[in-house]
Amino acid sequence: MALVMITNDDGFRAPGLRALAAAVREIARVVVVAPERDSSAASHSLTMRRPVRVRDHGGGVFSVDGTPTDCVILGTNRLLPRRPDLVVSGINPGPNLGDDVNYSGTVSAAVEAATLGIAAFAVSVCDYEPEDYSRPAAIARRIAARILAGGMPPGVLFNVNCPVSPRGVRFTRQGRRAYEGAITELADPWGRPHYWIGGGTPVDDGGPDADTAAVEAGYVSITPLRIDRTSHETLATLAAEWGDLW
């Protein structure tokens, strides 16, 4: 039977993770290795300057006192009985579209798995407080079954975003998403300024084939991402244009 590791960035108690684990358990053996606490926007950070503790909750559920990347490294190398056939990260409450992928702990867990040579995808639902996760969980199970049967190209992961009521699937490229008003300046009781980073209004700019546009139109967006970020177009001309640099 296939072995699937489930992780997230919201913590091992998150309802989105539980729904995902339950859905994938219908088609594979599942082990959960997830952060002890919410580490949303942890990106790809690694805990290197203190020890990392693991708690075994029984029934194939482990929590890690660290980041999503720590979870993938420890899960795939130490905690699972063998290297998993697939790592699935989510289900994140809130979309991970366009430039979000650079901050997302959910997506970074899948990036880490792909870096280790393991098939992986990340799933997010486009609602910050979803009432239930049954639609994205069912879609995740279908994608997992497809990958377990047919594999995935090496060095690639899927970033999946599911609208609240999806009307189909679109295969997309990563769009752009900036946040306006994402810095809030406040004064402390002594009048000194301090800041909150986060929130703000997303401003999308990606074109009609982007992840942002698909979700806006009500479709599940599946974006294949590469761990190799080389710009091949730039590389092709760089030697000619910058050949006199040395």
Q: Which residues bind Mn ion (CB under 5 A)?
A: 9-10, 40, 92
C-beta closer to Mn ion: residue 28 or 113: 113
CA end-to-end distance (rounded Å), the chain: 56
Length of the chain, in residues = 246
Least CB distance from residue 75 to Mn ion, whole Å? 18
Strands (E), the chain: 3-7, 29-35, 54-56, 61-64, 86-93, 120-125, 156-162, 169-171, 177-180, 183-187, 193-197, 201-204, 220-226
Residue type, 119: A
C-beta closer to Mn ion: residue 20 or 148: 20
Structure tokens at 77: 């190398």
Tell me the β-bridge partners of 187.
193
Least CB distance from residue 156 to Mn ion, whole Å? 22
C-beta closer to Mn ion: residue 40 or 161: 40
Least CB distance from residue 76 to Mn ion, whole Å? 20
Structure tokens at 129: 């407080």
Least CB distance from residue 102 to Mn ion, whole Å? 14
Closest by CA to 88, choosing from 12, 15, 170, 159, is 159
CA 161 to chain centre: 10
Cα separation values, 32 from 100, 161, 193, Å: 24, 21, 41
C-beta closer to Mn ion: residue 76 or 92: 92
Least CB distance from residue 43 to Mn ion, whole Å? 11
Least CB distance from residue 106 to Mn ion, whole Å? 6
What angle is formed at CA 112 by the lines to CA 4 and CA 226, rounded to 5 degrees?
Answer: 105
C-beta closer to Mn ion: residue 11 or 224: 11
Question: At residue 63, what are phi and psi to the nearest 5 degrees?
Answer: -115, 145
C-beta closer to Mn ion: residue 124 or 221: 124
